[in-house]
Chains A and B, each alone.
Chain A
Amino acid sequence: MIFKFSHWRVGVMLLGVSLTNTNAQTVTNSSDATPLAQAEMLRFVACPLYRDTDSGRKSGCWLVTDMASGLRLDLQQSFTKPQLGKEVLVEGWLPATANRVARDCGGVVLEKVRVSVLATSCTPVILPDEGFAGRRFELPGSVMTPNHLPQPQPAKPWVTRDFQIDFDFGSDYLRYQHAEVLLQEAVRLAILGHAKVIVIQGSADTVGAKVSGKLLREPVALSKARALSAQEALVRLGWPLEKTVIQASTKLGKRSDLQDPWHHVKLRRVTLHVDINASAQP
């Protein structure tokens, strides 16, 4: 791990990350594992640029310039898209050098990228398409099934499982096209499996770090706020409030955790522990 211009830049080789220490099966729709061999993790703050390409709906491009390398990077893979004129925290994996090619939007695609919109303002910039086509919108792989269609049910065996819901930096917003699928599946599993309780464990990046010269650290209270958001969602989806338990972490992270470059991302989450009552299974 090295610091370069206050950025996290970490070279790794097929880093496999263990998600939890429990024996429970872990389900998430956003892999924590490093996606590419010789990929380089970037974590920096910058001002986003919008390139006004038009390949149909939702096809405009979000770009950012990494000040450390000077590379123009493509943020399209992020769940959260930027807000013009607001700085963003960018966390993602820069492909191996051989794959650093500017594609449809005019930037190198950051893999597994997370964008968090920050409160700080910056100059709003819209670029013309300059011949770039943009990218046709495709639905993410994991979205809710519309109510008028048959609803998917968790496959047997119904066993105790963890569901991990990720959050943007500084936010307790349950992210569209990510959280709702996990929450719904968790409730369905809990109901079918006669779960005794759903434990909602909220956490926040209270460790913090200096990123691009800014200290980015989440308040301790955000752990509970995230857990409460998830609890409200579970109750609205039909799970009894009295069968939820909130465990909001108030501890600061360990220094040793900082060896893991994805550590800050992993701290911004809620884990739903659906405790299945095996003896109550039909």
Chain B
Amino acid sequence: MSKMHWNIWSWSLAFVSAAVLAQPSNFPPNEWWQPGADKEFPAFYTAVNAQGIVATRLDGGAQSVKDHPFFKPLGRNGRACVTCHQPADGMSLSVKTIQARWEATQGKDPLFAGIDGSNCPSLDQSKKESHSLLLEKGLIRIARPWPPQDFNGKKVKPEFSIEVVRDPAGCNLDKSHGLKSPAPYVSVYRRPRAATNTRYLTAIGFDFEPKTGLPVLVDAVSGKPTSGNLLSDSRALTLDAQARDAMRWHLEAFGTPDGKWLDGILSFEQKLTTAQVYSHRGGDLTSDGGRGGIELLRQAIAGELQSTARKQIWSEEFLNWKSNEAAPEDEKKFRESVRRGVDVFSKKTFLITDSGGLNNIPLGNPLRDGCAICHNMQRSGMDVAPGQIDLGTTNLPYADPAPHLPLFKLTCQPTAKPHPYLGKVIYTHDPGFALTTGQCRDIGKITMQNMRGLASRAPYFSNGSAANLRAIVEFYNRRYRIGYTEQEMQDLTNLLSVL
């Protein structure tokens, strides 16, 4: 049997069995990929989620994961990359999976390692409440050095001072891990990003970055331009740098990483494509004119700007996704809703205001535009320019109430240029990009994420503030006073559910 036939056969089998099993709710916990397992990663991996089925395709066919560096523990805490980048969760990690893992192991899984799988390493790790941010919001502790360090690990003189206003997790005031510890750190709490669709994460639409008014940053090691789209605070410019950062901080693998490990991790990540392939309500995303799912995503040019292509984003995937006459009414209605969602996403305009990284470049404040002004990269919904924007997910006053998160007061130096809309004193749950650049204008800027396979990895936004897909739409509606109708809200939510 040829490889292509095998792939189609295996996909069909997986699709049918998963569709039969699929129920909108109460589906069993997905498969947990245990570090160090002796098994095979299939050419086409599928898993059920609340909205349907997500798939990850591995180019080159099935591969044994035994002793593979993405799958085996590389450091002292027993974790592997796969611990936080689970295939069933679209190569990220959902709260549902985290909670199931706690129940299955009574918190003994390496996922809950004190270094970052708890609210603070100093807490009693045997207590469930010490892991509340991970268990309830899916948040991993990210310890950023203070004063900040840039992309190359060089110390940056910050334009602002930082004070801890509130510290419910206790780590920022901790004697060993806090801002006043011998090696000071700022602890922020963020969702693991999806380690897949890397062609899109690293794509550079243009060589120029309007937010800084300079060409994109060049990697000091390779001398090549970089996308700036890898991490929330863009502290790593390349997949290699990201892997090194993750090995050091999340796996507690100290010393110089083995070059073969890095090659193996990068090679594996670069062969992955992930997307939702089936909808419980809409059916197969690749049938009846639909081009959702994997193949278009896998084959298309990465980094294509939607307005340059003269095709609205998501149109090739879903504008022709229609039902035949004999199809159930619910399916027809759902597909209609997704098609409307495509139009709302790119054509419904609203006043975008006070968003650092967008309004303060010469586009103006306010700016009438739509979702696609930032989510402008065909297929992925990322930004073709480095996507650091202050939407207000972490900065007050726009951030939703988050009593579980630390709150910082950042005060800009008298000579520093202030944050463009929040002035010189900013309250934030996560300074974001400013922890890499040290600049006031970057406070609260968070790099946007790849939008494919969203349904598999709730909650959303870097700090998990949106519990589900609908909550994402509600945040934007509130933040920009868009005034979506109920139908528009539902249409957008349905669109997000099939990406």
Name A137-175 residues within 8 Å CB distance of B: 139, 144, 146-148, 173-175
A81 touching B364 by the CB < 8 A rule?
A: yes
B262 interface residue, CB < 8 Å from A?
A: no
Q: Which of A198-206, A230-238, A262-270 contacts B (4 or more CB under 8 A)?
A: A230-238
Chain B residue contacts of A148, Cβ below 8 A: 205, 301-304
Question: A179's closest neighbor in chain B, by CB?
Answer: B213
| Contacting residues, chain B, for A236 (C-beta < 8 A) | 214-218, 225
Decide if A126 is an interface residue (CB 8 Å cutoff): yes
CB distance from B389 to the nearest CB of A (A): 15
A132 interface residue, CB < 8 Å from B? Answer: no
Question: Once the chains bind, are A174 and B366 in contact (CB under 8 Å)?
Answer: no
B359 within 8 A of A: yes
Q: Chain A: how many interface residues by the 8 Å CB criterion?
A: 36
Measured in the bound complex, the distance between the Cα atoms of B227 and A222 in whole Å is: 29
Question: Could you tell me the dominant secondary structure of chain B's interface residues?
Answer: loop
Q: CB of B286 within 8 A of chain A?
A: no
> For residue A176, which residues in chain B have a CB less than 8 angstroms away from its CB?
208, 210, 213, 361-362
Nearest CB of chain B from residue A22's CB, rounded to whole Å? 26
Q: Which of A50, A57, A174 has the most CB of B within 10 A?
A: A57
Say if the beta carbon of B10 comes within 8 Å of chain A. no
A54 interface residue (CB < 8 Å to B): yes
Kindly state the separation between the CA atoms of A147 and B203 in the bound complex, as whole angstroms: 9
Q: Is B122 an interface residue (CB 8 A)?
A: no
Residue in B closest to A78 when the chains form the complex, CB atoms: B362
Closest to A79 in B: B362
A174 and B213 within 8 A (CB): yes
B351 touches A (CB below 8 Å): yes
Distance (whole angstroms) from the CB of A280 to the closest CB of chain B: 23
Chain B residues whose C-beta falls within 8 Å of the C-beta of A177 in the assembled complex: 362
Indicate if B369 sits at the interface (CB-CB under 8 A): yes
Pick from A80, A147, A232, A233: contact of B362, CB below 8 A: A80
Give 1 or 0 for each of B467-499: 1 = CB within 8 Å of chain A CB. 000000000000000000000000000000000
Specify which of B214, B302, B308, B364 is in contact with A83 (CB 8 Å cutoff): B364
Q: Give the docked Cα–Cα distance between A146 and B218 (Å).
A: 18
Q: Is the beta-carbon distance between A57 and B369 smaller than 8 angstroms?
A: yes
A90 touches B (CB below 8 Å)? no
Q: A57-B370, A83-B364 are in contact. List 5 more A-B contacts (CB 8 A).
A: A58-B363, A147-B207, A148-B302, A184-B207, A232-B214
| Sample of 8 A–B contacts (CB below 8 Å) | A50-B364, A52-B366, A56-B347, A58-B369, A80-B364, A180-B206, A184-B208, A232-B214
Interface residues in chain B, defined as those with a beta carbon under 8 Å from any beta carbon in chain A: 204-208, 210, 213-218, 225, 301-305, 307-308, 347, 349, 351, 353, 359-370, 373, 384, 420
Q: Which residues of A contact B (CB under 8 A)?
A: 50, 52-54, 56-60, 62, 79-84, 126, 139, 144, 146-148, 173-177, 179-180, 183-184, 229, 232-233, 236-237
